A = this chain, B = another copy of it.
Amino acid sequence: MNSKLQWLRNKMSSLDLQGLIISNPVNIKYLTNIDAEGILLLTRKENIYITDARYIEHVHSILTLFDEIIVYDMNDVSKEDYENFFMFCENVGFEENYVTYAKYKEYIRKYKINSLVETEHIIEKQRMIKDEEEISNIRKACEITDNCFSYILKYIKPGMTEKQIADEIEKYYKQNAEGTSFETIVASGENSSKPHAVPTDRKIQDIDIITIDMGCKVNGYCSDMTRTFFVGEVPEYVKPIYDLVLKNQEQTIEEFKDGVSTRQLTKMVENDFKLNGYDLVHALGHGVGMEIHETPFINYKSDTLLKENMVVTNEPGIYIPGKFGVRIEDTIQITKFGSIKLTNSEKNYIII
């Protein structure tokens, strides 16, 4: 059995779970490498993956004997089989944050489970701490993102539309990685005041402000980076805000380290913004891995202590509605004594 599955089984023992139903495909891929539609059951003695005829061939091509996973075609699993899987289990866990209420009721009926219990992101928490291979994949995705950003700075010319720029980034990521890790944001002029802007047909002006939020995937792992930069010149009224965002982004990079509370980090930035008359309207950051947004979430509601080898973003931003916005974001790796930047593009005023 692989080490991730073994770790999870030990965790189950400590939680008095004799069985576990895993439905979230990202968690299934993390544990088994299987990327198909199906369900993973950890029963007392077996690891069982149930899929449908479309995927049987593909799943068999991924697994080896070492995985110790039995694959079933769902059409070959009888009502009695389902009832037997967890027969001698007192507590069976499920993913209450992924499974719908309708599915929850179906599981109880189908598997005849007496005690189907919530597992509070058991696998998502396991995924927070990255191993060497995972970090190496994210690092590669970040390097490609730095390269793409250098390329795109040279590519952008006044008159191009936001959509055109976003398309070029996507093309770059398709050629150099496994494509984008999320829909690229290219927000120029007043559009940059929307933190989650979608690229439009707005044309880049001779004097302009542009925010690009971009990332790609390498071996299934994501990168995430944002820069706000300028065409022609940096308007004087933008400078104080840019400087304030950058100051907070750079100060917090030093504070992001093993043992620090995500809430405290957020409060620190929020307070400094408020002192200057601005608000922090979104989270300060989030975990990055197989998903572009994953635990830990770094906001004033969250309450996680950062740990060595978590990979997260650090992305303070300030937005003046209808006018402009500034956001600066890096993907970083947490260590015992601080954090390591995985994205390394320039952060001082960039003028093209």
A residues near B, CB below 8 A?
52-55, 57-58, 94, 96-105, 118, 167, 174, 193-196, 279, 281-282, 321-322
Q: Which of B55, B97, B102, B321 contacts A196 (CB 8 A)?
A: B55
Contacts of A55 in B (CB 8 A): 196
Q: Is the CB of B282 within 8 A of A53?
A: yes
Interface SS of A by simple majority: mixed
Contacts of A104 in B (CB 8 A): 101
Contacts of A194 in B (CB 8 A): 54, 57-58
Q: List 19 A-B contacts (CB under 8 A).
A: A52-B281, A53-B279, A54-B195, A54-B196, A54-B282, A55-B196, A57-B193, A57-B194, A58-B194, A58-B196, A94-B101, A96-B100, A96-B105, A97-B100, A98-B100, A100-B100, A100-B101, A101-B104, A102-B118
Q: Closest 4 interchain pairs by CB?
A: A53-B281, A96-B101, A101-B104, A96-B102
A55 to B319 Cα, complex, angstroms: 12
Contacts of A58 in B (CB 8 A): 194, 196
Contacts of A193 in B (CB 8 A): 57
A231 to chain B, nearest CB (A): 23
- A100, A195, A279, A321, most chain B CB atoms within 10 A: A100
Residue of B nearest to A99 (CB): B101
A99 to B103 Cα, complex, angstroms: 10
* Contact flag A322-B167 (CB < 8 Å), given A96-B101, A100-B101, A102-B97: no
Contacts of A118 in B (CB 8 A): 101-102
Contacts of A57 in B (CB 8 A): 193-194, 321-322
A8 to B41 Cα, complex, angstroms: 39
Q: Which of B54, B100, B282 contacts A99 (CB 8 A)?
A: B100
A167 to B281 Cα, complex, angstroms: 37
Contacts of A96 in B (CB 8 A): 100-102, 105
